[in-house]
Chain A
């Protein structure tokens, strides 16, 4: 392998919980410390950071806490969870261009016990909310449901179809000790018994698991990782796609409401850059704030055709023994919602051979946050 290629050399995370009982800075610091150690690095060797623009942990507070003496590269992603995989893109770009030698990626929050994203907006966080909140479109569940409804209408789906995804996610989570729903699988009946959030589109069990926790990654070059004895996973491709007319939340102005155009273009970019096709992906980690977004992404990335995701899931492709295991940690519905970053950790584990739900022979893993993504591979 090319020694200058960027790799994920270390992973770290706290427990995922409903109430961490400590500051977000402590969560970020614990995860960061563990990622640096996992890579075999010292904090004094870290010279770059990347986090979310939404993250409340200041870089200077973090480096003082964990003992990093100097940074020469700091970057933050745009948007919310859609930028989860863009953290890796930015870090890899810094490493491969020589702007930094070892970049710490971190994300930490008390998203359940403190500020909950799922609650109604109190003030317009950006002017785009003017075209939603006065009309009672004031929670992420409602905002996304307005596009999901057209998808259901067009392809004749019901909430039960979405429930089949949740059942699979909870099955994976049930055998993952890190998952908040460890040893708690559900049936489709359990899903159908959970209360409506947006009837008849989303039930409670279609929504991600608001969580407290922190995740960190240490990204460096293949050569440096090898010098430190890290079990490094190469980043074969990374990309983040924004399209004119698109919006993180309000995907109402693209021509076709039944597709995820950012995901479609992202998939093409990633496959081209990695020199592979959808058929070569062994495990897909797919960001899901709500279960229907998995359907749109399965179609956008070419794992099945337009409107076919429901049958693809019904036919068992994404579960145990399936042709494309999806979200083998339980995903954001089953393991926890650390803004998508925990899905990157699982992608690394699948390629290291250390996942709780190891897919034997996994060589290529797609980690998609919808509008940003990476392909990891051996």
Chain B
């Protein structure tokens, strides 16, 4: 059983975690100039607007880099594959790859992935699967 440390969110990123509860991967979008940004910020660095909106990501992306997270002195803790995803919209997000054995003898760089949502004991996180794999 994977235990997850819940996010401690505040004004600037509450929309993201609330979106996750509705199974939406949201990317912050400036309501005035339209630029996308992640991680979120309270003001647009391009135009100065505080009209912060969000757009729903397609959830499609590419793995830039990945590791297997397993604490060396807690061998019983569930290993998880941590990935950095380049979303097709252009922003990047750290997440996990699920439904793939956490082994080192594979190459996950540049593999296509698609978002899904997993409830970890009340904390709903955006996660990813390899594109084309069945849920």
Contacts and interface: CB of A to CB of B under 8 A. Distances in A.
Q: Do A and B associate with each other?
A: yes
Contact of A200 (B7, B72, B92, B104): B104
B72 A145 contact: no
B67 A146 contact: yes
Contacts of A195: 72
Contact of B82 (A146, A150, A257): A146
A37 B82 CA distance: 50
Contact of A136 (B84, B93, B96): B96
B67 A134 contact: no
A375 to B, nearest CB: 32
Interface stretch (A8-16, A124-132, A359-367): A124-132
Nearest to B127: A135
B80 interface: yes
Interface string A5-37: 000000000000000000000000000000000
A196 B67 CA distance: 13
Contacts of B67: 142, 145-146, 149, 198, 201
Contacts of A132: 94
A252 interface: yes
Contacts, number: 87
B8 A124 contact: yes
Contacts of A99: none
B125 interface: yes
B69 A136 contact: yes
A267 B119 CA distance: 46
Interface in B69-101: 69-72, 80, 82, 84, 92-96
A262 B60 CA distance: 30
Interface string B33-71: 000000100000100000000000000000011111111
Contact of A131 (B39, B65, B68, B96): B39
Given A134-B6, A136-B96, A146 B71 contact: no
A281 to B, nearest CB: 30
Contacts of A227: none
A128 B6 CA distance: 13
B9 A135 contact: no
Contacts of A279: none
Interface in A155-203: 195-201
Given A142-B82, A146-B82, A134 B13 contact: no
Nearest to A247: B39
Contacts of A138: 5, 69
Given A135-B80, A135-B95, A138-B5, A149 B104 contact: no
A135 B45 contact: no
A147 B65 contact: yes
Contact of A146 (B6, B66, B104): B66
A62 to B, nearest CB: 33
B65 A153 contact: yes
A198 B67 CA distance: 8
B62 to A, nearest CB: 12
B4 interface: yes
Given A128-B39, A146-B82, A200-B104, A134 B65 contact: no
A133 interface: yes
B39 A137 contact: no
A199 B84 contact: no
Interface string B9-49: 11011000000000000000000000000010000010000
A135 to B, nearest CB: 5
Nearest to B65: A150
A131 B71 CA distance: 19
Contacts of A257: 64-65, 84
Given A142-B82, A198-B67, A137 B13 contact: no
A268 interface: no
Nearest to A244: B45
Given A139-B71, A145-B67, A146-B82, 15 more contacts: A124-B7, A124-B8, A127-B10, A130-B7, A130-B8, A130-B9, A130-B39, A135-B96, A136-B80, A146-B65, A146-B67, A146-B84, A198-B68, A250-B94, A257-B65
6 contacts: A130-B7, A135-B125, A196-B72, A198-B69, A199-B70, A201-B67
